[in-house]
């Protein structure tokens, strides 16, 4: 049986094969954050120089890309990207996701929004029927933490501040456990209306375009 790390490497290789047509001169791609994204970056860096470069969804990803020789662009200097590749904490059959386990959800959502295609790369353990078993990360301005946590309790959640963690944007992550998210697009919208919420980790209004899912039998493509 392959280990979870081997499944991450398999799906990262499948992502390279999938985006290979975009690794050409002038092309800029978006790159996500996390251990699966790290596997993807490690397979991407041998192509450095064959494509223009990447926009990173976190400082951590930017460092890893640059160490591998990939030029990192500021998103404000990029009009569009053909593709954004990233992992997820959960993905449902509609290819809606919970992201933010690594705390990079805000930049991930911004970079993904500028790409024409979102390629989600996961091992099969991330597949769920209903989102919410993974505690939903919400990036919150520090002064709004208590009010956002009260709201979370009011909708049946069990919120906790992610201790010892500050986002790349200088904010706090509140992880909301105990939600069964029947309507992800609605909850994504509702949470984003709360004063002090920067972003929440539901990616439903902009779901994945395609998911590459690794299991011991191989990598499946879901659209
Ligand atoms: C980071 C993310 C990651 O994509 C998500 O947490 C999955 O990470 P991993 O590939 O390490 O399981 O959203 O903010």
Mean pLDDT of the chain: 97
Residue nearest to atom 10 of ligand 1 (CA): 36
- pLDDT, tens digit, 9 for 90 and up, residues 96-105: 999 999 999 9
What is the C-alpha to C-alpha distance for residues 99 and 135, in angstroms, rounded to an integer?
Answer: 10
Task: Note the pTM of the prediction, 2 decimals.
Answer: 0.95
pLDDT at 206: 93
Nearest to 24, CA basis, from 65, 55, 52, 54: 52
> How many A from CA of 35 to the centre of ligand 1?
7
What is the C-alpha to C-alpha distance for residues 137 and 135, in angstroms, rounded to an integer?
Answer: 6
Catalytic residue flag (residue 108): yes
Residue of 9, 30, 62, 101 with the most ligand 1 atoms within 8 Å of its CB, for mutation? 101
Nearest atom in ligand 1 to 86's CA: 4
Evaluate: CB of 188 within 6 angstroms of ligand 1: no
- pLDDT, tens digit, 9 for 90 and up, residues 152-206: 999 999 999 999 999 999 999 999 999 989 999 999 999 999 999 999 999 999 9
> How many A from CA of 5 to the centre of ligand 1?
13
Residue of 10, 32, 89 with the most ligand 1 atoms within 8 Å of its CB, for mutation? 89
End-to-end Cα distance, the chain: 26
- pLDDT, tens digit, 9 for 90 and up, residues 55-104: 999 999 999 999 999 999 999 999 999 999 999 999 999 999 999 999 99
Evaluate: CB of 139 within 6 angstroms of ligand 1: no
For the segment 15-29, the average pLDDT, to the nearest whole number, is 97
């Amino acid at each position: 049986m392959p280990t979870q790390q081997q499944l991450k490497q398999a799906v990262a290789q499948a992502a390279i094969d999938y985006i290979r047509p975009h690794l050409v001169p002038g092309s800029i791609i978006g790159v996500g954050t996390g251990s699966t994204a790290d596997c993807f970056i490690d397979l991407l860096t041998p192509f450095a120089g064959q494509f223009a470069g990447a926009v990173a969804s976190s400082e951590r990803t930017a460092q890893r890309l640059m160490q591998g020789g990939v030029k990192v662009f500021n998103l404000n200097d990029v009009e569009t990207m053909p593709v954004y590749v990233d992992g997820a904490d959960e993905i449902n059959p509609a290819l809606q996701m919970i992201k933010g386990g690594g705390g990079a959800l805000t930049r991930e959502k911004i970079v993904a929004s500028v790409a024409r295609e979102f390629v989600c790369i996961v091992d099969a353990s991330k597949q769920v029927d209903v989102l919410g078993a993974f505690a939903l990360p919400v990036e919150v301005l520090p002064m709004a933490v208590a009010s956002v946590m009260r709201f979370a309790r009011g909708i049946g959640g069990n919120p906790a501040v992610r201790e010892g963690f500050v986002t790349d944007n200088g904010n706090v992550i509140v992880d909301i456990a105990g939600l069964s998210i029947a309507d992800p697009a609605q909850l994504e919208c509702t949470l984003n209306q709360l004063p002090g919420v920067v972003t929440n980790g539901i990616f439903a209004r902009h779901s994945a375009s395609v998911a590459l899912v690794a299991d011991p039998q191989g990598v499946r493509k879901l659209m």
